[in-house]
Structure 1
Amino acid sequence: MHYLDYNEKQAHGTADFPLAYYYVDEHHPRYHMPFHWHKETELLRIVEGQLRLSLDDREYVVSAGELIYIGEGVIHGGEPENCIYECAVFDPKPLLMHTHAIRRYLYRIQRRQIQILMRFTQKQPEILTRAETLYGSLRKKSPGWEMTSLGALFELYGMIFDREYYTPCASGDHTQGKLKQLKPVLEYMELNYQSPITLEDLSRLAGMSSKYFCRFFRAVIHRTPIDYLNYYRIERACYLMATEDISVTEAAYRCGFNDSSYFVRAFKKYKNVTPRQYMQRLEKT
């Protein structure tokens, strides 16, 4: 799976077929999911284990077989627990809005008139069945897989509207307004994690006092701002060590750690192994 970055710029799929499939297990350098958002819609299915997932201001522990619907702009991040998960990421506008009859349904989502349920479990077996057809087609890519995938996606949305698996969106949602204030903070971390970043820098970006910002950030992200920044730096270091031929010292320097001993302590705190042990594991996979 490609890393799904904060305000994600990468294209998913191709211009002709903007739907992409990603498979993530413990050997992937982006196994852990830092907080991010993107303009596309994402369907995330747990294959094995559990995933502790945050979606805006909500938190779920999602188990094998369950499906998560992540709409445009939703801030999300997750911590896997012996987990394998797969994702289908797509832009509904060019992919699905071919006729007025279909557009009138999807416009209700695009214009935030309704909010589709974020979590589907065994209580909605008809949704999980359509999702399995979709993922099976995307995995195998047999002849005609594009049509099979689109058909499953249309059926999934049709079932959502038929069974009314959605709720009306409240106008003037105060929480959503505050969540938008976190997006420039997360993007700033992503762009500047190699450099010194202070709590004052982040709270100023959010337009909040430092005290209120810390409280709100922790309520959504479940970490303090500085703890999350260090977590993100360690995740970036893991990615660099897994994808580039660099030393531990170089990884530390490129991820904002000027003290290598502090980097080792931070790495062990978040990954439960030292950087060298992590690299030895990579060499065995």
Structure 2
Amino acid sequence: MIPIYHENNTHGTAVFPLQVYSHHDKDGFFSVSQHWHEELEWICAEHGVLNLTVRGRSFTLHPGEFCFINSGELHEIKSGGPSLHHAIVFNPDILDFTLYDICQHSFIRPVTSGNLIFPTLPSVFSPEESQMILFHMQEIIRLYHTLPSCASLSIKIHILQILELFFQADCFLENTISSKEKDSQNKLKKVIEYIHENYAGPISLPDLAKICFMSPNYFCHYFKQEIGKPPIAFINEYRIQKACQILTDSELPVSQVAISVGFDNFSYFIRKFREYKNVTPTEYRSHL
């Protein structure tokens, strides 16, 4: 399933807004295109390799490694072959206390308000501290999937213990984004929304640049800097993701799939599909 640009899915329930997604990808096809959501997302790799892009920065997670995605950050995830990874997605308000005490003021509210944000990769932690964070994440995952007595309370305690480790190591970052940067990011999100809504038809570079009030040349530079790839590559990759969805959910001929996702050149579609998925569309369908 390919999420929309601004993910509006409900994660967890109204009384416990947390959900753990465990993805076992046996073929190496797992891919989630650029999107963002209000919730925090903590990702850890158990087997295989994950390739991530967060706010235009690309990096790789290997088994036993983890990362943090803050509220509103554009990100995408791809498997680098067969893999198993887990994503803990939750509304930070789950941590708030009704009683406004010193803990709420000094430790909880700065995180839930977004004044303090997580570094994507907590590289400043010692190996021992990293192992403790990984332990707490693994416990959250285990508790979520097994639901023993007091699971919700135990999960919350493990999240707070991770926050405690961050405060003890002084690893939180101050959110220093300016109003100008925020406005620029919002325009970029509108561009991605436009692509998601119009991928099946022609999309011109001048039209995308116009959304950001930029010249086409400057827009290309800005887009690649923020997303990690040129606009054309992003559009092609998104179209291929939509093609994968159609190949999975229907028996439509491959030539019709190409047309339905915006490729008017069948050979180009096949070439790009193989480039992004390492198989042809027919081979992809045969793996399902």
**TM range, smaller chain:** 0.7 to 0.9
Measured in 1, the distance between the counterparts of 2:232 and 2:79 equals: 22
1:278 alignment partner, one of 266, 284, 288: 284
TM-score between the two structures when normalised by the length of structure 2: 0.87
Partner of 2:35: 36
Residue 251 of structure 1 aligns with an amino acid whose one-letter code is V
Partner of 1:88: 88
Please identify, of 7-16 and 134-143, the stretch whose mean Cα deviation from structure 2 is larger.
134-143
Measured in 1, the distance between the counterparts of 2:228 and 2:174 equals: 27
Q: Which of structure 1's runs of 4+ aligned residues deviate more than 4 A?
A: 27-30, 173-177
**Alpha carbons 2:39, 2:90 under 8 Å: kept:** yes
Residue 130 of structure 2 aligns with an amino acid whose one-letter code is Q
1:60: Cα distance to partner?
2.2
TM-score between the two structures when normalised by the length of structure 1: 0.88
Residue 43 of structure 2 aligns with an amino acid whose one-letter code is L
1:197: Cα distance to partner?
1.0
Measured in 1, the distance between the counterparts of 2:32 and 2:170 equals: 30
Across the two proteins, how many residue pairs are aligned to each other? 280
User: Could you say if the C-alpha distance between residues 218 and 171 of structure 1 is closer, same or farther in structure 2, counting changes exceeding 3 Å?
Assistant: closer
Percent identity of equivalent pairs: 27
1:226: Cα distance to partner?
1.2
1:202: Cα distance to partner?
1.0
User: Could you say if the C-alpha distance between residues 56 and 39 of structure 1 is closer, same or farther in structure 2, counting changes exceeding 3 Å?
Assistant: same
**Alpha carbons 1:127, 1:160 under 8 Å: kept:** no
**Alpha carbons 1:218, 1:224 under 8 Å: kept:** yes
Please identify, of 132-141 and 105-114, the stretch whose mean Cα deviation from structure 2 is larger.
105-114
What are structure 2's unaligned runs of at least 5 residues? none
Q: What SS does the corresponding residue of 1:120 show, helix, strand or coil?
A: coil
1:75: Cα distance to partner?
0.9
In the alignment, structure 1 residue 184 sits paired with structure 2 residue 190? yes
**Alpha carbons 2:39, 2:89 under 8 Å: kept:** yes
Q: What SS does the corresponding residue of 1:195 show, helix, strand or coil?
A: coil
1:252 alignment partner, one of 235, 253, 258: 258
Partner of 1:50: 49
Matches within 5 A, 1:4-23: 4-23=3-22
Q: What SS does the corresponding residue of 2:25 show, helix, strand or coil?
A: coil
Matches within 5 A, 1:82-121: 82=81, 83-93=83-93, 95-99=94-98, 100-101=100-101, 102-104=103-105, 105-120=107-122
Partner of 1:76: 75
Q: What SS does the corresponding residue of 1:77 show, helix, strand or coil?
A: strand
**Alpha carbons 2:50, 2:78 under 8 Å: kept:** yes
Measured in 2, the distance between the counterparts of 1:218 and 1:132 equals: 35
User: Could you say if the C-alpha distance between residues 257 and 59 of structure 1 is closer, same or farther in structure 2, counting changes exceeding 3 Å?
Assistant: closer
Measured in 2, the distance between the counterparts of 1:3 and 1:220 equals: 21
Q: Deviations over 1:20-71 (max 9, x none)?
A: 1112233489712211111111111111222222211433222211121111
Measured in 1, the distance between the counterparts of 2:221 and 2:130 equals: 36
Measured in 2, the distance between the counterparts of 1:149 and 1:242 equals: 35
Residue 84 of structure 1 aligns with an amino acid whose one-letter code is L
Partner of 2:231: 225
Residue 47 of structure 2 aligns with an amino acid whose one-letter code is E
**Alpha carbons 1:26, 1:84 under 8 Å: kept:** yes
Q: What SS does the corresponding residue of 2:269 show, helix, strand or coil?
A: helix
Partner of 1:195: 201
> What is the CA RMSD across the aligned residues, in angstroms?
2.4
